Amino acid sequence: MAKTNASDILTADWNPIIGCERYSDGCKNCWYLDGIFPWQKRLGRIPEEVEKNEHHVFATRLDVESLRAKNGIVGVVQHGDLFWDQVPEMIIHKVLDIVDTAANKKRVVPKYILWTKRAERMANILTQRYPEGLPAYLAASVSIENQQTANERLPQLKRIKGIRIIMIEPMLGPITLKNHLPVEWVVVGSETGSGARHISLDWVRKIRDEVKTKDIPFFIKQLGNHHKKSVRILDGREWNEFPQGFKK
């Protein structure tokens, strides 16, 4: 379970919709398309007619009750990308409506993380929906893998007011974040699985030093290439820092 996995930043995830397609170099060995999707289909949890390259809405999950039981740090639509252009904007707002309603019904409110590579679409929708800034229970996260994707996507993340997360996973090359800080959290992870590409510890050190100079929480998910064998120590310590209010 994510809650007991020290290398996972999430307590739980909620997937009322699924679906994505390869978008940039970081998607080459996509853990969802190549692993989770076929596995879930074999188990009968995804309808046989649903293909990898289309989104699918689970009507029974698209309600407040399916989300209310999840606590801690909750990833919203981890099995795909909520802001993929194939997902209708009406569905995106329905998902956000449920998050807003669930948060308002809880005494101890979880942190809900939206996670995307489609940074511009996310920024457009969230800034229109929450013009005064994201509610405290909601965080916007953008995935990058190299300097090009950082420069393309992170200016869109900066448009959003509220809790913003830079997710460098898989890290495929040296990156500087100097022009893209501050944010509220930076997370780094290597690629894992068959054909996993190399991560240099010097790349990670550079990010750590830039982030800690700004006193931003820093978390390392993985530095190895095997998802079942966690390698998380950099220069003699694990980096397990969370933003204030985030607790698994």
CATH number of the domain where residue 81 is located: 3.20.20
Full domain range(s) for residue 80: 2-238
pLDDT surpasses 90 at 194: no
In whole angstroms, give the CA distance from residue 86 to residue 183: 28
In whole angstroms, give the CA distance from residue 149 to residue 245: 29
Q: Is residue 245 part of a domain?
A: no
What's the mean pLDDT in 122-128? 98
Work out the mean pLDDT of the chain and round it to a whole number: 94
In whole angstroms, give the CA distance from residue 99 to residue 112: 8
> What pLDDT score was predicted for residue 191?
95
How many CA atoms lie less than 13 Å away from 202 in the CB half-sphere?
2
Task: Determine the distance from the C-alpha atom of residue 133 to the mean position of all C-alpha atoms in its chain, rounded to a whole number.
Answer: 19
What's the mean pLDDT in 49-69? 93
What's the mean pLDDT in 58-74? 94
Q: Is residue 247 part of a domain?
A: no
Whole-angstrom Cα Rg for the chain: 17
| Token pair belonging to 14 | 């909620």
In whole angstroms, give the CA distance from residue 188 to residue 228: 17
User: At residue 235, what are phi and psi to the nearest 5 degrees?
Assistant: 55, 45
Work out how many domains the chain is built from and give that number.
1
Beta-carbon contacts of residue 174 (< 8 Å; ≥ 6 apart): 147, 200, 202, 203, 206
Q: Is residue 169 part of a domain?
A: yes
| Token pair belonging to 85 | 């252009």
What's the mean pLDDT in 189-211? 95
In whole angstroms, give the CA distance from residue 23 to residue 186: 22
Is the separation of the CB atoms in 104 and 111 below 8 Å? no
Is the separation of the CB atoms in 59 and 233 below 8 Å? no
In whole angstroms, give the CA distance from residue 68 to residue 64: 6
Task: Determine the distance from the C-alpha atom of residue 134 to the mean position of all C-alpha atoms in its chain, rounded to a whole number.
Answer: 16
Q: Is residue 246 part of a domain?
A: no
> What pLDDT score was predicted for residue 53?
85
pLDDT surpasses 60 at 1: no
Task: Determine the distance from the C-alpha atom of residue 174 to the mean position of all C-alpha atoms in its chain, rounded to a whole number.
Answer: 20
Report the SS3 class of residue 221.
strand
Indicate the pLDDT class of residue 106, thresholds 50, 70 and 90.
confident
pLDDT surpasses 90 at 230: no
What's the mean pLDDT in 200-215? 98
Q: Is residue 152 part of a domain?
A: yes
> What pLDDT score was predicted for residue 3?
59
pLDDT surpasses 60 at 154: yes
In the chain, the percentage of residues whose pLDDT exceeds 90 is 88
In the chain, the percentage of residues whose pLDDT exceeds 70 is 98
pLDDT digit string, tens, across residues 7-46: 899 999 999 999 999 999 999 999 999 999 999 999 999 9
Q: Is residue 244 part of a domain?
A: no
pLDDT surpasses 50 at 212: yes
Q: Is residue 18 part of a domain?
A: yes
Residues pairing with 74 in the sheet: 12, 112
Task: Name the least confident of 2-6, 62-66, 86-90.
Answer: 2-6
CB atoms within 10 A of CB 113: 23
